[in-house]
């Protein structure tokens, strides 16, 4: 199971493969029963870098979504002395399971799933030709037909809440743990491929269908900055 990294377009495309990002806290704002049943829980410790290192606890798990059977929510919660200091959310998307109605299905769960579906893919979950063939919009040309197959891992939000813990590798550590958890989850779904020729037509087709790709849309942490810009000058707001 391989992840494709450092894939992006030079035409201003907001989506990159395996990038790092920070976003606002999410599930506490819109808590639902779908997120109550935590599965495959893992606990880690992480020691921050710098002169005043701190030991943090990172908790990972995934949840089913009763409304969207083709999607799993992967969650990371990081605490220090019992206080939340970082959170993250990613979506594991069974693209093959919704391919006939890719746009319709991806439009519903969140703004991020809708955005990536309509911006990057066609209505059947295939990367738009302009990102592979257009002389300008394809950018470096590293997005190829291999991205047309397999499940997607959309990293929606990563938020290091505590300002003093930013730029200390915490966000990178959380993303790395999420990616590895998704990779192992995909491997568990993949199986051994014993009947790959019968089901998929060939072993190569089997590998294509079970290659997991991670996407992220870098963005501004607007909810994190709104309260800090109140009453500030234009120059101060820009700095924030």
- The gap from C-alpha 26 to its chain's centroid, in whole angstroms, comes to 14
Q: Please spell the DSSP secondary structure of 35-101, one letter per residue.
A: GTS-EEEEEEEEEPPSSS--EEEEEEEEEE-SS-TTEEEEEEEEEETTEEEEEEEEEEE-HHHHGGG
The reply to whether 236 falls in a domain is no
The reply to whether 196 falls in a domain is yes
pLDDT value at residue 153: 98
The reply to whether 37 falls in a domain is yes
Are 166 and 160 in contact by the 8 Å Cβ rule? The answer is yes
pLDDT value at residue 5: 39
Domain residues for the domain of 72 are 16-220
pLDDT along the chain (240 residues), means of 10: 39 46 43 65 91 91 93 97 95 95 96 94 94 83 86 95 90 96 93 71 82 87 79 88
pLDDT value at residue 232: 92
The reply to whether 101 falls in a domain is yes
pLDDT value at residue 32: 45
pLDDT value at residue 18: 45
pLDDT value at residue 10: 40
pLDDT value at residue 15: 52
The reply to whether 227 falls in a domain is no
pLDDT value at residue 29: 47
pLDDT value at residue 191: 77
Could you give the angle at the alpha carbon of 63 between the alpha carbons of 57 and 66, nearest 5°?
A: 160
Identify the residue whose tokens are 């599930």: 27
Enter the pTM of the model: 0.78
pLDDT value at residue 16: 53
The reply to whether 225 falls in a domain is no
The reply to whether 121 falls in a domain is yes
pLDDT value at residue 116: 94
- How many domains does the chain fold into? 1
């Amino acid at each position: 199971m391989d992840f494709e990294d450092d894939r992006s377009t030079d035409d201003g495309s907001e989506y990159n493969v395996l990038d790092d990002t920070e976003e606002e806290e999410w599930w506490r704002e819109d808590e639902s029963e779908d997120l109550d049943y935590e599965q495959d829980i893992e606990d880690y410790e992480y020691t921050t870098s710098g002169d005043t290192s701190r030991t943090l606890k990172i908790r990972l798990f995934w949840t089913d979504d009763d409304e969207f059977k083709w999607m799993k929510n992967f969650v990371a919660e990081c605490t220090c002395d019992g206080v939340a200091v970082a959170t993250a959310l990613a979506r594991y998307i069974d693209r093959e399971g919704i391919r006939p109605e890719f746009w319709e299905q991806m439009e519903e769960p969140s703004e991020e799933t809708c955005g990536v579906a309509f911006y990057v893919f066609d209505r059947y979950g295939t990367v738009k030709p302009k990102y592979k063939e257009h002389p300008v919009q394809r950018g470096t040309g590293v997005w190829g037909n291999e991205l047309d197959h397999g499940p997607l891992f959309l990293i929606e939000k990563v938020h290091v809440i505590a300002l003093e813990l930013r730029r200390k590798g915490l966000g990178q550590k959380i993303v790395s743990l999420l990616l590895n958890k998704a990779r192992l989850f995909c491997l568990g779904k993949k199986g051994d491929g014993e009947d790959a020729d019968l089901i998929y037509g060939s072993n190569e087709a089997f590998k294509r269908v079970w290659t997991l790709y991670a996407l992220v849309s870098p963005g501004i942490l607007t909810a994190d900055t709104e309260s800090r810009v109140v009453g500030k000058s234009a120059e101060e707001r820009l700095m924030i």
